Amino acid sequence: MTPPLLNGPVLGIESSCDETAAAVLAPDGRVLAEAVLSQTEEHARFGGVVPELAARAHLVHLPGLVVRVMAEAGVAPAGLGGVAASSGPGLIGGLIVGAGFGKGMALAHGLPFVAVNHLEAHALTPRLPGLVGGGVAFPYLLLLLSGGHCQCVAVEGLGRYRRLGTTLDDAVGEAFDKAAKLLGLPWPGGPHMERLAAQGDAGRVALPRPLLGRAGCDFSFSGLKTALAQAVGKAADPADIAASFQASVAAVVADRARHALAMMQEATALVVSGGVAANGAVRTALAAVAAGAGLPLVAPPVRLCTDNAVMVAWCGIERLREGLADPLDHAPRPRWPLDEMRGTGVGS
């Protein structure tokens, strides 16, 4: 059956944080073109993302990026089947730039528009057919581990998400970034921490493993950060501190994932996404958890784990296939919990 609202490639636009990204995907999920411009260098000297600078950078870079991916995909705007743009949660300035641009294209060419929930886009990424043969089927457990998000989500079907646990304080990537800062490493700190940890011995510095073994699958990292600050104060070896920190995070994440799987017996896969999914120690710990539960661990390639527009276009495709377009007066939302999504009951 021809999908009701999808008769051509979909343009995806991402601008919710500090990545400006655009991608064009064929209706079957094949990536025809993709591009990401990271603003890391523009924000690095401030030690974090400056929202106003981010919005302005999206404004400068997005039009050219869209023209580029459209040319690379060999698709004219009128030949698109739809436009999907991240419309929340995220930094409102950037969301307004990306969603406004997407709506302009949809209006000019009479295309359906999808106001994409950025978290849903992360959640549906493993279903991209090119990733795992045919894409992961519902239901699965998603661990979203990024700089802004830290959640265990039961992905039951399109638009049907149950948040099983979240962080009580910092997101896990934020914890890596704060730890790195305390150790005098550049922002964003995660990759630097991993490199430093490789030279250290986790056994030489004792750090806590917050909530390990505790019921449920919430996270907490503020105590770990404080303990790390104390270790820095005692002049422990930085590499040993980084190694111990990373070991603690990996152990905690694995423990939380184990609990989340117990809370979602019907899961057919364990999926990890977000920038922290790039961390080798975290991946190894999660692979052991998945193996213990007899499930595959699905970790998309890093470029699809971090913010990108392929996942946004794919989310648009999943929604348009179900006839779920959005009106052009949809207002971008800085806060937009996954549980508030709607769907058609697919996967039920």
Angle at alpha carbon of residue 338, lines to 335 and 343, rounded to 5°: 125
Binding residue count for Zn ion, defined by CB under 5 A: 1
Q: What are phi and psi of 7, to 5 degrees?
A: -130, 30
20 vs 82 by CB, closer to ligand KG4: 20
Q: Do 91 and 335 contact (CB within 8 A), yes or no?
A: no
| 52-79 as b/e: b if 16+ CB within 10 A | eebbbbbbebbeebbeebbeebebeeee
Q: Under DSSP, is residue 296 helix (H, G, I), strand (E, B) or coil?
A: coil
**19 scored as a contact of Zn ion (CB under 5 A):** no
Question: Out of ligand KG4, Zn ion, none, which partner does residue 177 contact, by CB within 5 to 8 A per kind?
Answer: ligand KG4
Question: Out of ligand KG4, Zn ion, none, which partner does residue 34 contact, by CB within 5 to 8 A per kind?
Answer: none
Q: Give residue for tokens 């990204």.
A: 21
Site string for ligand KG4, 171-210 (x = CB under 6 A): --xx-xx----------xxxx-xx----------------
Among 47, 301, 276, residue whose Cα is nearest residue 181: 47
> Cβ 281 to ligand KG4, closest distance in Å?
8
| 172-193 as b/e: b if 16+ CB within 10 A | bbbbbbbbbbbbebebbbbebb
Q: Do 276 and 176 contact (CB within 8 A), yes or no?
A: yes
> Cβ 215 to Zn ion, closest distance in Å?
28
Dist. CA 317–CA 19, nearest whole Å? 21
Of residues 10, 264, 276, 290, which one binds ligand KG4 by CB under 6 A?
276
Of residues 81, 82, 275, 300, which one binds ligand KG4 by CB under 6 A?
275
Q: Concatenated DSSP letters for 162-196? A: EEEEEBSS--HHHHHHHHHHHTTPPSS-HHHHHHH
| 16-to-47, 148, 197 alpha-carbon distances in Å | 18, 11, 30
Question: Out of Zn ion, ligand KG4, none, which partner does residue 188 contact, by CB within 5 to 8 A per kind?
Answer: ligand KG4
**174 scored as a contact of Zn ion (CB under 5 A):** no
> Cβ 7 to ligand KG4, closest distance in Å?
32
16 vs 324 by CB, closer to ligand KG4: 16
Question: Out of ligand KG4, Zn ion, none, which partner does residue 189 contact, by CB within 5 to 8 A per kind?
Answer: ligand KG4
Q: At what angle do helices 190-197 and 172-182 cross, to 10 degrees?
A: 70
Site string for Zn ion, 273-312 (x = CB under 5 A): ----------------------------------x-----
Interface contacts to ligand KG4, rule CB under 6 A: 17, 146-148, 173-174, 176-177, 188-191, 193-194, 274-276, 278-279, 306-307
Interface contacts to Zn ion, rule CB under 5 A: 307
